[in-house]
Amino acid sequence: MKGQMCWLCQSSGDGEKILYLRLSPYEAWQPYYSLPKISVPDYRDFPNGSKGWATCQKLLKAGWKLLPSYQTSELLAS
């Protein structure tokens, strides 16, 4: 199962980007933690690290595509 990933701002509006995932280009983006069968826990040794970094590393190794944030923002706007 290969999908797409992107770093997007949280809906809370604090400006912090977290990892969002989707299984196909036609699905809505979801925060990584809402897909527990795919995501892995964040690194405990880095409490202020990027939310979803461990999941991103796992999925990159599995062949998932990481899209640039600016490209994803354009897709979300259309």
State how far the Cα of 10 lies from the Cα of 58, in Å rounded to an integer: 21
State how far the Cα of 26 lies from the Cα of 51, in Å rounded to an integer: 24
Regions in the chain scoring below 70 on pLDDT: 1, 11-13, 71-78
pLDDT (0 to 100) of residue 13:
64
Long-range contacts for 29-36 (Cβ within 8 Å, ≥24 apart)? Answer: 29/72, 29/76, 32/56
Average pLDDT of the residues of the chain? 85
- pLDDT of 17-38, one tens digit each? 899 999 998 899 999 999 999 9
State how far the Cα of 34 lies from the Cα of 63, in Å rounded to an integer: 20
pLDDT (0 to 100) of residue 71:
66
Give yes or no for a contact between 40 and 55, defined as CB atoms under 8 angstroms apart: yes
